[in-house]
Amino acid sequence: MLKALVKLTLPALLVASGGLQANEDGSTLETVKEKGFLSCGVNTGLPGFASPDDKGKWSGMDVDVCRGVAAAVLGNADKVKYIPLTAKERFTALQSGEIDVLSRNTTWTLTRDASLGLNFAGVAYYDGQGFMVSKDLGVTSAKQLDGAAVCIQSGTTTELNLADYFRTNGMKYQPVVFDTSDGTAKGFDSGRCDVLTSDQSQLYALRLRLSKPDKAVVLPEVISKEPLGPLVRQGDDQWFNIVKWSLSAMINAEELKVTSANIDKMKSSTNPSIKRLLGIEGPKGKGMGLNDDWSYQVIKQVGNYGEIFENNVGEGSPLKIERGLNALWSDGGILYAPPFR
């Protein structure tokens, strides 16, 4: 009876006190090993991050993060069950134990980290709000947009960021509001506004929906911080570490120029950093309860961060997003993973 009462008052408690631990007893690692696949919450469809192809196979950045975790834990990147989630359901699905990892272009914010009973295991993609204008306008910076008509999706944080940005810079703008991101693209295409604003990763996808994609250009300014990353439940530090280090393995691999293609050759490398990364020496997998070759499997089956980026959103994809902030720290970006030592 008491238990039932507690369950009934849960939603209130969740918001107020920092959530519940659904799988308090059994560790997530054991659960995943037992059932033989990883349950991964993804977007119901976001170009370059998660979308099913015509065979029903999921691909994208967020999807590859999950594939990496599956490769580390189960030794097989294909042992993932994708659970498409809407923005509103995503946290409940993780809290209730329906999924093991939430990799659904979720922005890391203080509120989410502190009050949902969840932890962000790292940043898989640094996004930020940007602007797209028609090339004919000859605009090269967002600072020149005073008085512009701006197409925007209603009810998003983008709307607030836009207002903040224009107010701080003492400029005026005229909002043209649509209820879907598709609508904003159509509005921009038909000339109802001069500027289209949204998260940069979105802008590149929206650009492809225009009748003449080459005529539009994404401006360099980024007016908000949107670090996107995978989440796990609080209270299972081992699982938290596994997700965090699966991601780190991909980033370190790019730094050490280890790719899915050359990894077998790299095994005979004399570089101690590479040896530690591939689990030949050094910490290996014991501390996390994984096999010693876990990081080898991640890189071999999924690839390093650079490969994932290029295949899903970069030059190898229709989106053609530039690395920008998502380049390695050594290449002018801010991507930086702790060392394997």
Q: What is the CA radius of gyration of the chain?
A: 21
Q: How far is the CB of 154 from other proteins (least distance, A)?
A: 17
CA distance 297 to 77: 8
Burial of 22 (0-12, 13-18, 19+ CB in 10 A): middle
Q: Which residue has the tokens 């159509």?
A: 186
Find residue 216's DSSP bridge partners. Answer: 134
- For other proteins, which is the closer residue by CB, 88 or 341? 88
Binding mask 165-204 for other proteins (x = CB under 8 A): -----------------x----------------------
Which residues between 201 and 260 bind other proteins (CB under 8 A)? Answer: 205, 208-211
Element (H, E) at 129: strand 129-134
Residue 70's SS3 state is helix
Of positions 63, 77, 85, 337, contacts other proteins by CB under 8 A: 85
Of positions 72, 195, 319, 335, contacts other proteins by CB under 8 A: 319
- For other proteins, which is the closer residue by CB, 211 or 270? 211
Which residues between 53 and 82 bind other proteins (CB under 8 A)? Answer: 53-56, 81
| Dihedral angle, C-alpha 225, 229, 235, 238, nearest 10 ° | -130
- For other proteins, which is the closer residue by CB, 213 or 324? 213
| 96 makes contact with other proteins (CB under 8 A) | yes
Which residues between 108 and 167 bind other proteins (CB under 8 A)? Answer: none
Q: How far is the CB of 97 from other proteins (least distance, A)?
A: 5
| 86 makes contact with other proteins (CB under 8 A) | yes
CA distance 302 to 312: 12
Q: Which residue has the tokens 């991101």?
A: 181
Residue 127's SS3 state is strand
Query: Residues 128, 200: contact at Cβ < 8 Å?
Result: yes
Calculate the alpha carbon distances from 163 to 36, 139, 166, 238, 250 in Å: 48, 20, 5, 42, 37
| 35 makes contact with other proteins (CB under 8 A) | no
Of positions 75, 97, 175, 289, contacts other proteins by CB under 8 A: 97
- Span of 96-104, 127-135, 139-147, 231-239 interacting with other proteins by CB under 8 A: 96-104
Sheet hosting strand 148-153, strand order edge to edge: 173-178, 148-153, 195-199, 129-134, 216-218
| 36 makes contact with other proteins (CB under 8 A) | no
| 12 makes contact with other proteins (CB under 8 A) | no
Of positions 200, 317, 328, 335, contacts other proteins by CB under 8 A: 317
Of positions 29, 32, 72, 83, contacts other proteins by CB under 8 A: 83
| 315 makes contact with other proteins (CB under 8 A) | no
Q: How far is the CB of 257 from other proteins (least distance, A)?
A: 27
| 47 makes contact with other proteins (CB under 8 A) | yes
HSE (side-chain half, CA atoms, 13 Å) at 154? 5
| 18 makes contact with other proteins (CB under 8 A) | no
Q: Which residue has the tokens 């008085």?
A: 147
Dihedral sign for Cα 235, 12, 16, 155, please.
positive
Q: In whole angstroms, what separates CA 30 from the centre of its chain?
A: 25
- Span of 40-48, 137-145, 191-199, 262-270 interacting with other proteins by CB under 8 A: 40-48
What residues line the site for other proteins (CB under 8 A)? Answer: 3, 7-8, 10-11, 14, 22-23, 44-48, 51-56, 81, 83-86, 88-89, 92-93, 95-98, 182, 205, 208-211, 317-319
